[in-house]
Amino acid sequence: MGAPVSLTWAEVCGRRMERHGLVDPLPGDDPADAAAAMAGAHAQVMSAAELSLGLRMATVTTSGVREALWERGTLVKTFGVRGTVHLLAARDLPLWLQALSALPPSRNVPEPSARLTPGQADEVVEAIAGALANAELTVDELGSEVVDRAGSWAGDLVMPAFQGMWPRWRQAMGLAAHRGALCFGRGRGQAVTYASPRRWLDGRTPSTESALTWLLETYLHAYGPATPSHFAQWLAAPRPWAADLFASCRPGLEEVLVDGRAMWVRAGDTGGARRRRVRLLPYFDAYAVGCHPRSLLFPGPAGDRALSRGQAGNLPVLLVDGVVAGVWHHRRSGRRVDVTVEPLAPLRPGRRRQLDAAVERLGAVLEATAAARLGKVTVGPHA
């Protein structure tokens, strides 16, 4: 075997931007293709998820994302990696759920008196599946059904949350989603609803081994080259477990050197790119959250300005050649969107023209007219 392929950090950034549709738009008009390319769009803030997908395609708008989710059913909203809400390509849902349900249990567990036993967790998941089999329910409606089906213990108020207490059963919602019992339904006014994902599963159950291999390959396509530690952080999984998965998949992987550091890609997928682009990424965009090493993605002042206690995604970022180079914020008034961009270094005329094009595309995704100014962003990070 010959020496590993060597890539520069700039080539890695260019490669990742291409995979994410941040150099040229991804082909087609189905936002599910963008969701698949980026291994899921973080959707805790739904408007940000709509922007994430729309900005990666040539003609998709926020209305198009909602249509794909609620009318066409090519997207599904559910609990994804790190237990956070994501928009996923519905065609991939069986693989996602089989892989996520195989991850080691989270270490972030309630106090012993508040925990569900494994048996109780199984009962709650079964109760959720039964309750949602033929209905879309709000969290309160679902809670009543779970208590009726599983027992009063499921409703004990034992989980501190948002200056109040949540019932015991709610700690199993992510587990229920990963086992195919729950996803998000269409909102009912201001209320969130939950539904059954059975229509996307259709009895398909891939093997755990094939699903985990698919998950690793999907991650490396979008975020590689990467290390087992990067993959573990993306998943919020134990590093030894991630290292073992890399080892088991080693025949399908290939080592590359990124500025001399050993990382991994799928075998044969060693190419880099250096096309230069300026882009605007919204809150919690997958590129900013999933790409590593974070010290290179948020270099120098960008780490101080665009990270929140080391966490990525809490601020929308200005991306220059794949590296965070500032922050931005937008405010909408009717059909007008005012965009404030705070670059951390002066933008040369060519870069400013690319920024103007990015702002124009932002307006198109929002189905409005956008105008930009350079200045200080005074809005703080999202919680």
| Distance in angstroms (rounded) separating the CA atoms of residues 59 and 52 | 13
Answer yes or no: is pLDDT of 276 > 90.
Answer: no
Which residues have CB under 8 Å from 74's CB, separation 6+?
30, 31, 32, 68, 89, 90, 91
Which residues have CB under 8 Å from 115's CB, separation 6+?
109, 171
Number of Cβ atoms within 10 Å of the Cβ of 243:
15
The mean per-residue pLDDT over the stretch 73-93 comes to: 97
DSSP lists the bridge partners of residue 159 as 166
Pairing type for strands 183-188 and 191-195 reads: antiparallel
- Taking a C-beta distance cutoff of 8 angstroms, is the pair 43, 87 a contact? yes
Peptide bond into 197 cis (omega under 30): no
Answer yes or no: is pLDDT of 1 > 70.
Answer: no
For residues 260 and 105, which has the higher predicted lDDT (pLDDT)? 260
The predicted pLDDT at position 106 comes to 72
Answer yes or no: is pLDDT of 218 > 70.
Answer: yes
Q: Is the dihedral of CA 348, 350, 353, 357 positive or negative?
A: negative
For residues 109 and 98, which has the higher predicted lDDT (pLDDT)? 98
| Distance in angstroms (rounded) separating the CA atoms of residues 242 and 239 | 5
Q: How confident is the model at residue 66 (pLDDT cuts 50, 70, 90)?
A: very high
The predicted pLDDT at position 216 comes to 98
For residues 110 and 355, which has the higher predicted lDDT (pLDDT)? 355
For tokens 């997908």, name the residue.
53
**Residue from 146, 149, 141, 148 nearest 168 by CA:** 146
CATH of domain 209-266: 1.10.10
The mean per-residue pLDDT over the stretch 261-286 comes to: 95
The predicted pLDDT at position 179 comes to 96
108-140 pLDDT tens trace:
677 777 889 999 999 999 999 999 999 999 999
Q: Domain-by-domain residue ranges, the chain?
A: 209-266, 278-374
| Distance in angstroms (rounded) separating the CA atoms of residues 106 and 52 | 27
Q: How confident is the model at residue 159 (pLDDT cuts 50, 70, 90)?
A: confident
Q: What is the pTM of this model?
A: 0.95
4-17 pLDDT tens trace:
999 999 999 999 99
E-strand spans in 271-368? 278-281, 317-320, 323-333, 336-343
Mean pLDDT of the chain: 95
Tell me the backbone φ, ψ of residue 255, rounded to 5 degrees: -80, 140
- For the purposes of burial, counting CB atoms within 10 Å of the CB of 82, is it exposed (0-12), middle (13-18) or buried (19 or more)? middle
